[in-house]
Homo-oligomer: A and B are copies of this chain.
Amino acid sequence: MSDFIKTRAAFHLPRGVTYLDGNSLGPMPVAARDRVARMMAAEWSEMLIGGWNRAGWYAQPRTVGDRVARLIGAGPGEVVMGDTLSIKVFQALSAALALRPDRRVILSDSGNFPSDLYVAQGLARAMGATLRVVAPEEVEAALDDSVAVMMLTEVDYRTGRLHDMAALTARAHAAGALAIWDLAHSAGAVDVDLTGADADFAVGCTYKYLNGGPGAPAFIWTHPRHADDAQPILQGWMGHAAPFAFDPEYRPAPGIERMRVGTPPVIAMTALEAALDVWEGVSLSDLRARSIELTQAFIAGVEAECPGLVLNSPRDPARRGSQVGFCHPQGFAVMQALIAAGVVGDFRAPDVLRFGFAPLYNDLEDVNRAVSILARILRDGSWDHDDYHRKAAVT
């Protein structure tokens, strides 16, 4: 059994705060600060340009990628880090479209994160493709023989709804389409199994449940069957077969390394390394069990003690990621009151209170505290002050 008391102790959690917003930004692993300071003093300062080899910076996107791979059911050598999630979506999508040249439809759903849709819109404009967006429950029916790529986010950022990755991927393949999965709200939250699901591409970020820090590097995975054929239109020198030959013609590196683009962000990657240390020894089945324990307890507690809140997430834990949403007509003000009282979740328009549960550091005490403070706020009506209404909506 994974030791979640130990993993909780690995994080800096501010005194008096119950943090249920790790699905937006994970807290800082205690070791990250010293790790970064050491990298700056011992590597950047002292090795200067030599750090690319001597300190392993050049290989970091792959060595760190191998550590992320275990958390998403991928093999070693199948994942590289870099850039941001939107950019990795762009690469995966352009590569997938090029692998299905006779088809021009990108199928996605309205539960996808908007940035993924924006990326698809921009790419579709350039490549003469069409983005078709349907409701999450209509994806399966929309998979016809015009669809080149099905691009979905596994866990809905608002509701926590968890798609059945294996079933939808099989359906996409049966229709002759490829499947791209965005794991933004999955990696580190649920027991992702890309290999088992036989997906084609996957992308994700590391600043949510993986706790890599604000703007931490993204990751991209290509199934080995495509890794030597996938050609993203966004190609840079670090993805060249021989980057230091300074060849005027691009020749993609074998395998996943071709998904590298420019110079990797070493300082950020170092913070992420410290964050990944906390994952050592954590099993994905324990992670999933713990996540379900926390979200079930929260739903039960809120429904028992907080009349007026309506569940906005699937009730069946098998269909839910590691977050829970509740609707309230004054959701924004309620969330501001909750944050002021030390329980940090977030708000998504028009009326959703969103709570993320990170098994690595959240526990049942967090759940109980959140429920009781939320109940008190609703009982008191203490959210109903101008003060909360004046605050900015951006978090």
Residues of chain A touching chain B, judged by Cβ–Cβ distance below 8 Å, are: 12, 14, 17, 19, 21, 24-25, 27-28, 32-33, 36-37, 40-41, 44-46, 48-53, 57-58, 83-87, 90, 94, 110, 113-115, 117-119, 121-123, 125-127, 133, 205, 207, 213-218, 231-238, 240, 244-250, 261-269, 271, 344, 346, 348-349, 392-395
Contact = CB atoms under 8 A, between A and B. Distances in A.
Given A90-B234, A122-B235, A214-B263, 14 more contacts: A25-B49, A27-B45, A36-B267, A48-B344, A50-B395, A51-B214, A87-B234, A115-B262, A118-B250, A119-B235, A121-B249, A122-B231, A213-B266, A213-B267
Contacts of A249: 117, 121
| Copies of this subunit | 2
Q: Which of A48, A233, A247, A249 has the most CB of B within 10 A?
A: A48
A45 B13 CA distance: 7
A58 B37 CA distance: 23
A232 B119 CA distance: 10
Nearest to A118: B250
B267 A121 contact: no
Contacts of A237: 86, 113-115, 118
A267 B58 CA distance: 19
A51 to B, nearest CB: 6
A236 B84 contact: yes
A265 B262 contact: no
Given A46-B14, A123-B233, A117 B33 contact: no
Given A114-B246, A266-B214, A45 B122 contact: no
Question: Which of A40, A85, A125, A266 has its CB near the most chain B CB atoms (within 10 A)?
Answer: A40
A232 B262 contact: no
B53 A394 contact: yes
B83 A87 contact: yes
Q: Which 4 A-B pairs have the closest CB atoms?
A: A84-B262, A86-B236, A115-B237, A214-B266
